[in-house]
Chains A and B, each alone.
Chain A
Amino acid sequence: QVQLQESGPGLVRPSETLSLTCDVSGYSISSGYYWGWIRQPPGKGLEYIGSIYRGGRTDYNPSLNSRVTISVDTAKNQFSLRLSSVTAADTAVYYCARLQLDFDFWGQGTLVTVSS
């Protein structure tokens, strides 16, 4: 069974960079699929942030493109999200997921609050 687990700081200061990591077990990232990030502000809907393929090809939501970087570490079987210049609007539960044409496995999510 594929399992994903997000980790990272739960509090980030405004204007700083949010950094999260997703550890994958039960499947080797280098074997295929895209690996992505989705977020959900409190009480609101889901938003696709971006994704990365095993070879490093990335796909980003244009609304966040200039602030987002997703990278992969196949040796550790994990991938990461960096979101720069955060504001309160970036406060959300951040999920990592495995995706191809759909999102079949999800992490449990981690709440990141942007506040001074």
Chain B
Amino acid sequence: QTVVTQEPSISVSPGGTVTLTCGLTSGSVTTSHYPSWYQQTPGQAPRMLIYSTNTRSSGVPDRFSGSFLGNKAALTITGAQPDDECDYYCVLYMGSGISWVFGGGTKLTVL
């Protein structure tokens, strides 16, 4: 069974740059997985930040960007702000079996 992997937790200093990754326990993440990224603050529904690897959703600041880093999808936050401290999830489209698989999430701390 393929699992989508994310760093459980990451810290960044205010104003700093941080990269979160989204990988597979077997194989590489590619454009065919249509990686998407979601931000979730406590008690709220997830909000889509990035879709199809690197396209920002409407209203998302350009300090959030998506890309590939090696064999993983990546979310980079440039100029981290205190409000960015929350959980981030990636989702991969698997196409068959289970069509969509969420990563375990990354808890980002800004301090």
Q: Which A residues lie at the B interface, using CB under 8 A?
A: 36, 38, 45-48, 51, 59, 61-63, 95, 99, 101-104, 106-109
Contact = CB atoms under 8 A, between A and B. Distances in A.
A103 B57 contact: no
Contacts of A38: 102
18 contacts: A46-B38, A46-B46, A46-B89, A48-B91, A48-B100, A48-B102, A51-B99, A51-B100, A59-B99, A62-B97, A95-B45, A101-B34, A101-B52, A102-B91, A103-B36, A103-B48, A106-B46, A109-B45
A100 to B, nearest CB: 9
A47 B52 contact: no
B51 interface: yes
B52 A102 contact: yes
Interface in B79-109: 89, 91, 93, 97-105
Interface residues of B, number: 23
Contact of B51 (A45, A59, A95, A104): A104
A102 B105 contact: no
Given A101-B52, A104-B57, A46 B102 contact: yes
Given A95-B45, A103-B46, 18 more contacts: A45-B89, A45-B103, A46-B38, A46-B46, A46-B102, A46-B105, A47-B102, A48-B100, A48-B101, A59-B99, A99-B100, A101-B36, A102-B48, A103-B91, A104-B51, A104-B57, A106-B47, A107-B45
A45 B36 contact: no
A103 B99 contact: no
Contacts of B57: 104
A91 B51 CA distance: 29
Contacts of B48: 102-104
Nearest to A51: B99
A108 B52 CA distance: 24
Contacts of A47: 102
A100 B92 CA distance: 12
B34 A102 contact: yes
